[in-house]
Amino acid sequence: MIPVQFDYAAPATLDEALSLLAEHKDDAKLLAGGHSLLPAMKLRLAMPQMLISLGRIKDLAYIREEDGQIRIGAMTTHHQLESSDRLREICPLLPETAGTIGDVQVRNLGTIGGSLAHADPAADWPAAIIALGAEIVAVGAGGKRIIKADDFFVDMLTTALDPGEILSEIRIPAPQGRTGQAYLKVPQPASGFAVVGVAVNLTLNGGGACESAGIAITGVASKAYRASAVEGAIAGNALDEQTITDAASHATDGIDANGDLYASEEYRRHLAQVYTRRAIETAAARVK
């Protein structure tokens, strides 16, 4: 449980971090909260020769409202998101999701950017940002690049970030109209990761019908995914019990579900349907 020897750098600016990343290329790893990278290094599943910590780059930790968007710096901690009064008011899905992650120690040190860039298939944040229609800002030698959340997660532990790029910001459209949100999950008892997690972002019209829906699921497949069939089944309809139940039955349509010692493929599919129904019901009950 001892990592191989490595060099360490703690740049104070994003430009310095990008320069170090360009210099060391494949030999370097970025360190955010470290909850995923450090265990992998101890097991020698990751053996970087250079560890570049982003912890001193204070410009990457913030929550702002700008141009009709909620903008979150990549080094913003789970605790900062969980404890934001403003987010609880305008986008409660974010603090609710943050509050389900790990324990207090993890939430105080872990970051949203680190979680997204790691792309664990059972992480909580990917489902939330897909449901919210977020954009990811990646910064590299060629400047900034915007990646839609739907396109960001490629496969297990794989994202659309190019070599030499750093995830710098998450941009979320500020919810408008009569909205309701929810994140519900079945946590793995030992790790707290999602066996199944469902994020829902609903907008209802004046008559109570679903005007738009963002629904995403984590923990089931090799990456978090948008439950498009569920969204389509409730769009334009009143959210009565039968409509929600029928829609939730499509939670894993077209998905290759994971199976492991804790939850079989069949059990995960069942949980995905149950928790999709519950999350939609919870979000609908919260619509103001």
Reported as a single tens digit per residue, the pLDDT across 191-208 is: 999 999 999 999 999 999
pLDDT tens, residue by residue, 262-276: 999 999 999 999 999
What CATH number does the domain containing 228 carry?
Answer: 3.30.390.50
Q: Is 71 helix (H, G, I), strand (E, B) or coil?
A: strand
Q: Is the separation of the CB atoms in 209 and 287 below 8 Å?
A: no
* Residue 256 sits in the same domain as residue 161: no
Domain count, the chain: 3
pLDDT of res. 131: 98
**Which domain, by its residues, includes 84?**
58-173
Q: Are residues 210 and 277 in the same domain?
A: yes
Looking at the fold, whether 203 and 256 belong to one and the same domain comes out as yes
Contact 8, 51 (CB under 8 A): yes
74-112 pLDDT, tens digit per residue, is 999 999 999 999 999 999 999 999 999 999 999 999 999
Residues 14, 111 within the same domain? no
Q: Which residue blocks in 25-103 are alpha helix, DSSP H?
A: 37-42, 78-82, 85-90, 93-99
Among residues 182, 181, 118, 127, the alpha carbon closest in space to that of 150 is found at 127
Cα distance between residue 232 and residue 214, in whole Å: 10
DSSP symbol at 33: S
2 domain residue, yes or no: no
Judge whether 1 lies within some domain: no
Per residue, what are the HEC states of 151-214?
A: HHEEECCEECCCCCCEEEEEEEECCCCEEEEEEEEEECCCCCCEEEEEEEEEEECCCCEEEEEE
Tell me the CATH number at 41: 3.30.43.10
Give pLDDT tens digits for 16-53.
Answer: 999 999 999 999 999 999 989 999 999 999 999 999 99
pLDDT attached to residue 288: 82
Q: Which residue has the tokens 């710096």?
A: 73
| Confidence band of 1 (pLDDT split at 50, 70, 90) | confident
Mean pLDDT of all residues belonging to the chain? 97
Do 142 and 163 lie in one domain? The reply is yes
- Tell me if 226 is assigned to some domain: yes
Please indicate, yes or no, if residue 118 is contained in any of the structural domains: yes
Q: CATH number of the domain that 77 lies in?
A: 3.30.465.10
Whether 36 is in a domain gets the answer: yes
- Same domain? For 280 and 206 the reply is yes
